[in-house]
Amino acid sequence: MADKKTINSSKVLKIGIIIYAAVFIIGILFTLFAGLKLDINFSGGTRITYSYTGKVEEKDFKKVAKSVIKKDFTVGSSTSLAGDVKTLTVNLAGRNTLDTKTQESLTTKLEEKFTKNNIELYDSNSVSPTVAGTFFIKSLVAVILTAIFVIIYVGIRFRKIGGVSAAVTALCALVLDLFVSFFVCVIFRLQIDSNYMAVVLTILGYSLNDTIVVYDRVRENKKLFPQLDLSENMNVSISGIIKRNIVTTVTTVSAVATIILVSELFGLTSLRTFAIPMAFGLVSGCFTSLFVAGPLWVIWQNRKNKKA
């Protein structure tokens, strides 16, 4: 038997419920009142490109544009292949399209502010949002398919401890983690771009892996200590692997934190949308796989046994 103090996982679950309820309420409130920031890749939108000569700081350009547009937008810069045309592009996502009047006044204002730079309207496009629709459907399908395959695999591998219940509770933990990463994006006002999809998938991998380690230990302890009841077994198992979970999570989160830190030091802010939701999702994954999936599985199994 473990020589350490055993953890009472259902007690921790109760604390967890309070924390997650708070995160959900804050997250939903932010989503409702502050809204999402979607990238143009996802939502379609407008792209207006200006050519210029000399040197225009992206920051100054953005400031001027902001005074006219008054909506969320991003600015990108580029140079033509021959190197003779330099451009700055304003991207507006989704329904934030600009009417011609605003476009005209933006052009006038920019010409006024950067008189020396010969600013001219180069190109203006509206980007089809149909792409975004199929992308989301496809992503959803991929996530559902993955879930089905994982349920089948976990169900077979862990059939001795009620495979389907193990798989479904693992998915519950996962869904919580994904919501946490989503709310982090909303609360920190981070744009949902294609990086976010990578974050979702990474969290999916970590969270499932964490939960599988829990069930693996439960399966083993069931063989070793058949006298333990389910919740005792779960508590012993969790106590046995909590250190592994913490070490793995601390190691990974410190790696991700290093990436955030170094890139912020060098002024590379665009990695935020990638690293911040990832870090929170990983911490959540460490917690939920131990204290959500585990105790839920115990409750499920106990119900089933009572009925039987």
Partner 1 sequence: MKSKRTGKPVFFVVFILILALTYCAFFGFENYYGDTRKVIIKGANDIRWGIDISGGVEAVFSPDKSGVDITSDDMDAAKTIIETRLVNNNITDYEVYTDNNTHQIIVRFPWAAGESDFDAQSAVQELGETALLTFCRNEDQNDVILKGSEDIKNAQAGPDENGNFVVYLNFTDAGTSKFAAATAQLVGQKISIWMDNQEISAPTVNQAITNGSAYINGMANADEAKSLADKINAGSLPFALTVDDSKLQIISPSLGSDALDVMLIAGAIAFGIVCILMIVLYRLHGVIATIALLGQLAGTIACISGFFPNLSSFTLTIPGIAGIILSIGVGVDCNVIAAERIRDEFRKGKTIDGAIDSGFKNSLSAIIDGNVTIVIVSLVLMGAFGTPDSPIAKLFSPLMSLFGSSITGSIYSFGYTLLIGVIFNLIMGVLASKYMLKSISQLKFLRKPAFYGGKKNG
The least CB distance from residue 1 to partner 1, in Å, is 11
Question: Residue 10 CB, nearest distance to partner 1 (Å)?
Answer: 23
Sign, CA dihedral 48-52-57-60, equals: negative
Strand-pairing partners, residue 45, are 93, 127
Residue 83 beta carbon to partner 1: minimum distance, rounded to whole angstroms: 8
- Residue 216, number of CB atoms within 10 A of its CB: 15
Directed axis angle between helix 194-224 and helix 294-307, to 10°?
50
Q: Dihedrals φ, ψ of 160, to 5°?
A: -65, -25
Residue 269 CB, nearest approach to partner 1 (Å): 8
C-beta of 210: minimal distance to partner 1 in Å?
Answer: 8
Minimum Å gap between C-beta 33 and partner 1 is 29
Closest to partner 1 by CB, 37 or 217:
217
Output 186 or 212, the one with its CB closest to partner 1: 212
Q: Which is nearer to partner 1, 16 or 285 (CB)?
A: 285
Nearer of residues 20 and 238 to partner 1, judged by Cβ: 238
Q: How many CA atoms lie within 13 A of 23 on its CB side?
A: 20
Find the farthest-apart pair of alpha carbons in the chain and give their distance in angstroms, rounded: 84
Give the C-alpha separation, 2 to 243, whole Å. 13
Q: What is the spatial order of strands in the sheet that 120-127 belongs to?
A: 86-93, 45-52, 120-127
Q: Which residue has the tokens 């959500």?
A: 292
Nearer to partner 1, 244 or 303 (CB): 244
* Spatial separation of the C-alpha atoms in residues 285 and 16, rounded to whole Å: 12
Of residues 274 and 291, the one with the C-beta less far from partner 1: 274
275 vs 264: CA distance, rounded Å: 11
